[in-house]
Amino acid sequence: MLTLGFGSIFTVFCCASCVVSCVVNGLLVCIVQQRRARIGFYRFFTLATMLIGVMYSLAYAAAQPLWLAGPGILGFFSISPWTRNINLIRIAYQLWFAAFVLIALSMACSFTYRYGLLCCPRIVSWFETPRRVVVILTFLLAISLWWLYVADFLLFQESRRVRRMMHYKFSKEYSVDIMSSYILTVDIKVEASAQRSVTGALICTIMMQLQIAIMFYWGVSIHNAVKVRVMSHRMRRIHKKALKMIIMQVRFNPVTFLYGPSFVNLYGMFVDTDFGQLSKFIALWMPLFPIFNPLIVIYFTQEYKQFIFNQRPSTVKVSSTVC
């Protein structure tokens, strides 16, 4: 009887999750385009998040990354069938890492915009005035490039010791030549690179925590604004439902599928234990993020569900009620 190893299962899972992600994100994009007149400017935030999700899925399916997290070391390597194509794997890793910060930035901007709709028209103008949009996009691009610089030139440092260790541990199991493949390594036991790697880990952590804090702050501000503002019972109910979607989008999705596993991997090198099989579970867990995100948006947005089930649309404009 034919038995499949984890490597084959992981390859199939990555490709399948990528296809599913493209389908569900494509479905939401189609809904948004069909309802663009009713959704208004907010559709650009939804489209950006969906495109980033697809980019994440394609990059993850191309890289098919596994990693080793242990005392003082961290290493990422690819087990994809095209792992010998070093340039492809390199690009896939960069897109995968970029998606981390782009997802958080997109959500933080959407939270800020929604708060502006409720309380501060000046904030809204920063997203709808072309000249100010250019400033915001330039700022977001600078943050993304800084993130990649920290990851590529501070956090990860080439370590022959970690490379040999990973080759000895995984080369036979996954039929991959790690000694000649493109991999990313961290070795904080080597004094020459330890300071740079630890600094990179701290900067990455601060950046992720700061983005989560911004989303939390605007979420609380939106909640407080809904409580004190005078509005109809129906509008208040719609705003509260949108707030629940925000909480699910932040606390359940990126924190559960992206940042939580990333923290486990990042700080696995600071503990005196080998994570063993946990990395396999995390590898299967992380590609689910771009699948759940559009499902959450569709579930909590009545307008989108009505479109799917071909029901009569509501009379409330989505751009002012849906986040």
pLDDT digits (tens, 9 = 90+) for 310-321: 755 444 444 443
Which tokens in the block code for residue 128? 């709808």
pTM: 0.85
Domain range for 163 is: 6-320
Residue 121 belongs to a domain: yes
Residue 323 and residue 320: Cα distance in Å, rounded? 8
Mean pLDDT of 130-146: 91
Residue 280 belongs to a domain: yes
Residue 1 belongs to a domain: no
Residue 54 belongs to a domain: yes
Phi, psi angle pair for 157, to nearest 5°: -130, 135
Q: Higher confidence at residue 39 or residue 121?
A: 121
Mean pLDDT of 254-270: 76
Residue 237 belongs to a domain: yes
* Paired strand residues for 187: 73
Phi, psi angle pair for 178, to nearest 5°: -70, -25
Residue 146 belongs to a domain: yes
| Half-sphere CA count of 32, side-chain side, radius 13 A | 24
Residue 193 belongs to a domain: yes
Task: Kindly report the CATH number assigned to the domain that includes residue 256.
Answer: 1.20.1070.10
94 to 35, 63, 98: CA distances (angstroms):
33, 10, 6
In the chain, how many domains are there? 1
pLDDT of residue 92: 94
